[in-house]
Amino acid sequence: MNNQNKVEGFEISINNKSKRIIDLYLKDEFIEKLIFPFKRFDITALEYKPFTRFTLAKNLDDLTQNKLSKLVNLVLKDRDTGCFLLKTNNENKKIDDKFLVKLSTAVTHLIGIPNHDSMTGKYYARFFVKHEDDSDSYLRKAYVNMDLHTDGTYVNEITDWILMTKIEEKNVKGGETALLHLDDLENLKELSEDPMGRQNFIWGSPKSKKVEYNVEHPVFKKDEKGNINISYIDQFPEPQNIDQGIFLQKLSDALEESDNKIVLEIPVGSSVVANNHFWLHGRKSFVQNKDLFRELLRIRGRFN
Ligand SMILES: [Fe+2]
Protein backbone atom coordinates (compact mmCIF):
# COMPACT_ATOMS: atom_id res chain seq x y z
CA MET A 1 0.00 0.00 0.00
CA ASN A 2 1.39 3.40 -0.84
CA ASN A 3 1.28 6.62 1.17
CA GLN A 4 -1.86 7.84 -0.54
CA ASN A 5 -3.69 5.04 1.15
CA LYS A 6 -2.77 6.13 4.66
CA VAL A 7 -5.89 6.58 6.74
CA GLU A 8 -5.76 8.22 10.15
CA GLY A 9 -6.67 5.83 12.94
CA PHE A 10 -6.09 2.72 10.82
CA GLU A 11 -3.21 0.35 10.30
CA ILE A 12 -3.40 -0.88 6.73
CA SER A 13 -1.64 -4.01 5.54
CA ILE A 14 -1.91 -6.88 3.13
CA ASN A 15 -3.39 -9.99 4.69
CA ASN A 16 -0.78 -12.62 5.45
CA LYS A 17 -2.75 -15.39 3.72
CA SER A 18 -3.68 -13.51 0.54
CA LYS A 19 -2.43 -10.46 -1.26
CA ARG A 20 -5.97 -9.97 -2.54
CA ILE A 21 -7.26 -9.17 0.97
CA ILE A 22 -6.49 -5.89 2.72
CA ASP A 23 -6.43 -5.75 6.52
CA LEU A 24 -7.75 -2.54 8.07
CA TYR A 25 -7.06 -2.44 11.79
CA LEU A 26 -8.88 0.22 13.78
CA LYS A 27 -6.58 1.50 16.48
CA ASP A 28 -7.93 1.81 20.03
CA GLU A 29 -7.41 5.59 19.96
CA PHE A 30 -9.70 5.76 16.95
CA ILE A 31 -12.33 3.60 18.67
CA GLU A 32 -12.22 6.17 21.46
CA LYS A 33 -13.08 8.93 18.98
CA LEU A 34 -16.05 6.93 17.69
CA ILE A 35 -17.66 6.45 21.10
CA PHE A 36 -19.23 9.92 21.22
CA PRO A 37 -20.76 10.07 17.72
CA PHE A 38 -21.90 6.46 18.05
CA LYS A 39 -23.72 7.27 21.31
CA ARG A 40 -25.95 9.74 19.50
CA PHE A 41 -28.15 7.03 17.99
CA ASP A 42 -29.41 3.85 19.56
CA ILE A 43 -30.04 0.71 17.53
CA THR A 44 -33.80 1.39 17.31
CA ALA A 45 -33.12 4.80 15.75
CA LEU A 46 -30.84 3.17 13.19
CA GLU A 47 -33.52 0.61 12.38
CA TYR A 48 -36.43 3.06 12.16
CA LYS A 49 -34.76 6.14 10.67
CA PRO A 50 -32.62 5.21 7.68
CA PHE A 51 -30.99 8.65 7.42
CA THR A 52 -29.29 8.17 10.81
CA ARG A 53 -27.22 5.37 9.23
CA PHE A 54 -25.75 7.87 6.81
CA THR A 55 -25.08 10.33 9.63
CA LEU A 56 -23.10 7.62 11.36
CA ALA A 57 -21.20 6.85 8.16
CA LYS A 58 -20.36 10.52 7.68
CA ASN A 59 -19.16 10.80 11.28
CA LEU A 60 -16.83 7.88 10.73
CA ASP A 61 -15.53 9.16 7.40
CA ASP A 62 -14.99 12.71 8.69
CA LEU A 63 -12.68 11.35 11.38
CA THR A 64 -10.47 10.02 8.57
CA GLN A 65 -10.64 13.21 6.46
CA ASN A 66 -12.90 11.22 4.13
CA LYS A 67 -10.09 8.86 3.23
CA LEU A 68 -11.77 5.72 4.56
CA SER A 69 -14.67 5.87 2.11
CA LYS A 70 -12.25 6.28 -0.79
CA LEU A 71 -10.11 3.38 0.32
CA VAL A 72 -12.90 0.87 0.99
CA ASN A 73 -14.55 1.61 -2.35
CA LEU A 74 -11.24 1.32 -4.15
CA VAL A 75 -10.46 -2.04 -2.55
CA LEU A 76 -13.94 -3.49 -3.13
CA LYS A 77 -14.17 -2.43 -6.78
CA ASP A 78 -10.63 -3.43 -7.72
CA ARG A 79 -10.80 -6.84 -9.42
CA ASP A 80 -7.36 -7.77 -8.04
CA THR A 81 -8.45 -7.28 -4.43
CA GLY A 82 -12.20 -6.87 -3.79
CA CYS A 83 -12.04 -7.85 -0.13
CA PHE A 84 -11.00 -6.35 3.18
CA LEU A 85 -11.00 -7.32 6.83
CA LEU A 86 -12.02 -4.68 9.31
CA LYS A 87 -10.26 -5.59 12.53
CA THR A 88 -10.50 -4.27 16.06
CA ASN A 89 -8.71 -5.08 19.29
CA ASN A 90 -10.86 -7.85 20.75
CA GLU A 91 -9.55 -7.06 24.24
CA ASN A 92 -11.03 -3.57 24.06
CA LYS A 93 -13.93 -3.56 26.53
CA LYS A 94 -15.59 -0.61 24.85
CA ILE A 95 -16.36 -2.68 21.79
CA ASP A 96 -19.63 -4.48 22.46
CA ASP A 97 -22.39 -5.84 20.23
CA LYS A 98 -24.07 -2.45 19.83
CA PHE A 99 -20.79 -0.80 18.90
CA LEU A 100 -20.22 -3.47 16.25
CA VAL A 101 -23.70 -3.02 14.77
CA LYS A 102 -22.98 0.71 14.53
CA LEU A 103 -19.51 0.27 13.08
CA SER A 104 -20.80 -2.23 10.50
CA THR A 105 -23.65 0.13 9.66
CA ALA A 106 -21.31 3.07 9.23
CA VAL A 107 -18.85 1.18 7.02
CA THR A 108 -21.54 -0.29 4.77
CA HIS A 109 -23.09 3.15 4.27
CA LEU A 110 -19.75 4.37 2.96
CA ILE A 111 -20.01 1.66 0.33
CA GLY A 112 -23.64 1.86 -0.70
CA ILE A 113 -27.11 0.97 0.45
CA PRO A 114 -28.04 -2.25 2.26
CA ASN A 115 -30.69 -4.53 0.83
CA HIS A 116 -33.70 -5.34 2.97
CA ASP A 117 -32.85 -8.58 4.77
CA SER A 118 -36.05 -10.61 4.45
CA MET A 119 -34.94 -13.11 7.08
CA THR A 120 -35.15 -10.44 9.80
CA GLY A 121 -37.15 -7.67 8.15
CA LYS A 122 -34.35 -5.17 8.78
CA TYR A 123 -31.40 -3.74 6.90
CA TYR A 124 -29.17 -6.22 8.72
CA ALA A 125 -29.45 -9.66 10.28
CA ARG A 126 -28.03 -10.94 13.54
CA PHE A 127 -28.12 -14.71 13.92
CA PHE A 128 -26.61 -17.52 15.99
CA VAL A 129 -24.85 -20.73 15.24
CA LYS A 130 -25.33 -23.26 18.06
CA HIS A 131 -24.99 -26.96 18.80
CA GLU A 132 -28.62 -27.70 18.06
CA ASP A 133 -30.40 -26.52 14.96
CA ASP A 134 -33.69 -27.25 13.27
CA SER A 135 -33.46 -24.67 10.50
CA ASP A 136 -33.84 -25.36 6.81
CA SER A 137 -30.62 -23.95 5.39
CA TYR A 138 -26.89 -24.44 5.95
CA LEU A 139 -26.54 -21.00 7.55
CA ARG A 140 -27.00 -22.29 11.09
CA LYS A 141 -25.88 -25.90 10.69
CA ALA A 142 -22.70 -25.99 12.73
CA TYR A 143 -21.41 -29.44 11.93
CA VAL A 144 -21.51 -29.40 8.17
CA ASN A 145 -19.34 -27.48 5.80
CA MET A 146 -21.04 -24.44 4.34
CA ASP A 147 -19.85 -24.66 0.75
CA LEU A 148 -18.43 -21.71 -1.17
CA HIS A 149 -21.17 -19.49 -2.51
CA THR A 150 -22.22 -15.93 -3.20
CA ASP A 151 -25.17 -14.21 -1.50
CA GLY A 152 -28.37 -12.88 -3.00
CA THR A 153 -28.71 -15.64 -5.61
CA TYR A 154 -32.46 -15.95 -5.00
CA VAL A 155 -33.53 -12.31 -4.69
CA ASN A 156 -34.46 -9.66 -7.23
CA GLU A 157 -32.14 -7.07 -5.72
CA ILE A 158 -28.55 -6.68 -6.80
CA THR A 159 -26.08 -7.83 -4.16
CA ASP A 160 -22.80 -6.07 -4.97
CA TRP A 161 -21.14 -6.61 -1.60
CA ILE A 162 -21.51 -8.44 1.67
CA LEU A 163 -20.31 -7.72 5.19
CA MET A 164 -20.09 -10.33 7.92
CA THR A 165 -19.16 -9.32 11.44
CA LYS A 166 -18.35 -11.69 14.26
CA ILE A 167 -20.16 -10.31 17.30
CA GLU A 168 -19.49 -13.05 19.82
CA GLU A 169 -18.29 -16.60 20.12
CA LYS A 170 -17.77 -19.15 22.89
CA ASN A 171 -16.51 -22.73 22.91
CA VAL A 172 -15.65 -22.60 19.24
CA LYS A 173 -13.19 -24.84 17.47
CA GLY A 174 -13.30 -24.96 13.70
CA GLY A 175 -15.93 -22.91 11.86
CA GLU A 176 -13.25 -20.94 10.02
CA THR A 177 -14.21 -18.67 7.13
CA ALA A 178 -13.37 -19.96 3.65
CA LEU A 179 -12.93 -17.49 0.80
CA LEU A 180 -12.11 -17.88 -2.87
CA HIS A 181 -11.46 -15.19 -5.48
CA LEU A 182 -13.13 -16.34 -8.68
CA ASP A 183 -10.03 -15.65 -10.79
CA ASP A 184 -8.15 -18.15 -8.61
CA LEU A 185 -10.53 -20.99 -9.48
CA GLU A 186 -8.36 -23.40 -11.47
CA ASN A 187 -10.86 -24.30 -14.23
CA LEU A 188 -12.77 -21.03 -14.40
CA LYS A 189 -12.26 -20.71 -18.14
CA GLU A 190 -13.70 -24.12 -18.93
CA LEU A 191 -16.66 -23.71 -16.57
CA SER A 192 -17.54 -20.17 -17.56
CA GLU A 193 -17.36 -20.99 -21.26
CA ASP A 194 -19.63 -23.99 -20.88
CA PRO A 195 -22.97 -23.01 -22.47
CA MET A 196 -24.67 -24.35 -19.32
CA GLY A 197 -22.96 -21.66 -17.30
CA ARG A 198 -24.58 -18.93 -19.41
CA GLN A 199 -28.04 -20.46 -19.37
CA ASN A 200 -30.78 -19.28 -17.03
CA PHE A 201 -31.31 -21.37 -13.93
CA ILE A 202 -34.29 -21.15 -11.60
CA TRP A 203 -33.32 -20.08 -8.07
CA GLY A 204 -35.64 -20.54 -5.10
CA SER A 205 -35.08 -20.51 -1.35
CA PRO A 206 -36.28 -22.33 1.79
CA LYS A 207 -39.06 -20.92 4.00
CA SER A 208 -36.80 -19.29 6.61
CA LYS A 209 -35.53 -16.85 4.00
CA LYS A 210 -39.05 -15.44 3.64
CA VAL A 211 -38.71 -14.80 -0.07
CA GLU A 212 -41.85 -15.98 -1.84
CA TYR A 213 -40.75 -15.76 -5.45
CA ASN A 214 -38.19 -17.54 -7.64
CA VAL A 215 -35.72 -15.74 -9.87
CA GLU A 216 -33.95 -16.76 -13.07
CA HIS A 217 -30.36 -15.97 -13.95
CA PRO A 218 -27.26 -17.75 -15.19
CA VAL A 219 -24.33 -18.75 -12.96
CA PHE A 220 -21.77 -16.75 -14.93
CA LYS A 221 -22.08 -13.31 -16.47
CA LYS A 222 -19.53 -10.90 -17.93
CA ASP A 223 -19.36 -7.38 -16.53
CA GLU A 224 -18.84 -4.27 -18.65
CA LYS A 225 -15.06 -4.76 -18.52
CA GLY A 226 -15.34 -8.35 -19.70
CA ASN A 227 -14.55 -9.84 -16.30
CA ILE A 228 -16.47 -12.94 -15.32
CA ASN A 229 -18.87 -12.64 -12.39
CA ILE A 230 -20.53 -15.48 -10.54
CA SER A 231 -23.87 -15.79 -8.77
CA TYR A 232 -24.03 -19.25 -7.23
CA ILE A 233 -24.97 -21.22 -4.15
CA ASP A 234 -25.33 -24.99 -3.94
CA GLN A 235 -28.65 -25.17 -2.10
CA PHE A 236 -30.96 -22.88 -4.09
CA PRO A 237 -30.78 -23.51 -7.85
CA GLU A 238 -33.53 -25.82 -9.09
CA PRO A 239 -32.02 -27.75 -12.02
CA GLN A 240 -34.63 -28.77 -14.57
CA ASN A 241 -32.72 -31.54 -16.31
CA ILE A 242 -29.66 -33.80 -16.10
CA ASP A 243 -27.43 -31.37 -18.01
CA GLN A 244 -28.14 -28.55 -15.58
CA GLY A 245 -27.66 -30.90 -12.64
CA ILE A 246 -24.35 -32.22 -13.95
CA PHE A 247 -23.07 -28.70 -14.59
CA LEU A 248 -23.86 -27.63 -11.03
CA GLN A 249 -22.20 -30.76 -9.66
CA LYS A 250 -19.07 -30.05 -11.69
CA LEU A 251 -18.98 -26.45 -10.48
CA SER A 252 -19.57 -27.46 -6.88
CA ASP A 253 -16.75 -30.03 -7.02
CA ALA A 254 -14.38 -27.52 -8.63
CA LEU A 255 -15.05 -24.93 -5.94
CA GLU A 256 -14.72 -27.31 -3.01
CA GLU A 257 -11.61 -28.95 -4.43
CA SER A 258 -9.85 -25.69 -5.28
CA ASP A 259 -6.36 -25.39 -3.81
CA ASN A 260 -6.65 -21.62 -3.80
CA LYS A 261 -9.27 -21.42 -1.08
CA ILE A 262 -8.23 -19.06 1.71
CA VAL A 263 -9.11 -20.21 5.21
CA LEU A 264 -9.23 -17.49 7.86
CA GLU A 265 -9.96 -17.37 11.55
CA ILE A 266 -11.90 -14.17 12.06
CA PRO A 267 -11.57 -12.84 15.60
CA VAL A 268 -14.54 -11.48 17.56
CA GLY A 269 -15.01 -7.82 16.69
CA SER A 270 -13.80 -8.21 13.12
CA SER A 271 -15.65 -8.08 9.82
CA VAL A 272 -15.13 -9.53 6.37
CA VAL A 273 -16.28 -7.24 3.57
CA ALA A 274 -16.18 -8.63 0.03
CA ASN A 275 -17.30 -7.94 -3.49
CA ASN A 276 -20.07 -10.49 -4.02
CA HIS A 277 -19.61 -10.76 -7.79
CA PHE A 278 -16.17 -12.37 -7.74
CA TRP A 279 -15.54 -13.53 -4.17
CA LEU A 280 -17.14 -16.71 -2.88
CA HIS A 281 -17.45 -17.38 0.83
CA GLY A 282 -18.20 -20.36 3.03
CA ARG A 283 -17.55 -21.83 6.45
CA LYS A 284 -15.78 -24.94 7.64
CA SER A 285 -17.66 -27.19 10.02
CA PHE A 286 -17.27 -26.73 13.76
CA VAL A 287 -15.89 -29.26 16.21
CA GLN A 288 -18.77 -30.74 18.24
CA ASN A 289 -19.47 -28.94 21.51
CA LYS A 290 -22.86 -28.68 23.16
CA ASP A 291 -22.01 -25.19 24.45
CA LEU A 292 -20.96 -23.95 21.03
CA PHE A 293 -22.05 -20.38 20.43
CA ARG A 294 -21.36 -17.88 17.67
CA GLU A 295 -23.25 -14.72 16.84
CA LEU A 296 -22.85 -13.06 13.47
CA LEU A 297 -24.13 -9.96 11.81
CA ARG A 298 -24.56 -9.64 8.10
CA ILE A 299 -25.34 -6.73 5.83
CA ARG A 300 -25.54 -7.05 2.06
CA GLY A 301 -26.25 -4.40 -0.46
CA ARG A 302 -25.46 -2.54 -3.61
CA PHE A 303 -22.95 0.11 -4.54
CA ASN A 304 -24.10 3.70 -4.76
FE1 LIG B 1 -23.44 -16.35 2.52
Tell me the CA–centroid distance for residue 300 and ligand 1, in Å.
10
| Tens digits of pLDDT across the chain (304 residues) | 555 578 999 999 999 999 999 999 999 999 999 999 999 999 999 999 999 999 999 999 999 999 999 999 999 999 999 999 999 999 999 999 999 999 999 999 999 999 999 889 999 999 999 998 877 777 788 999 999 999 999 999 999 999 999 999 999 999 999 999 999 999 999 999 999 999 999 998 888 878 889 999 999 999 999 999 999 999 999 999 999 999 999 999 999 999 999 999 999 999 999 999 999 999 999 999 999 999 999 999 999 8
Tell me the CA–centroid distance for residue 112 and ligand 1, in Å.
18
Predicted structure pTM score = 0.95
Tell me the CA–centroid distance for residue 125 and ligand 1, in Å.
12
Q: Integer distance in angstroms from the first to the last C-alpha of the chain?
A: 25
Interatomic CA distance for residues 165 and 159, integer angstroms: 17
Tell me the CA–centroid distance for residue 146 and ligand 1, in Å.
9
Tell me the CA–centroid distance for residue 279 and ligand 1, in Å.
11
Interatomic CA distance for residues 110 and 56, integer angstroms: 10
Tell me the CA–centroid distance for residue 220 and ligand 1, in Å.
18
Nearest CA-CA partner of 56 in 9, 103, 116, 8: 103
The single-letter code of the amino acid at 131 is H
b/e per residue 140-163 (b: at least 16 CB within 10 A): bbbeeebbbbbbbbbbeeebbbbb
Interatomic CA distance for residues 81 and 206, integer angstroms: 32
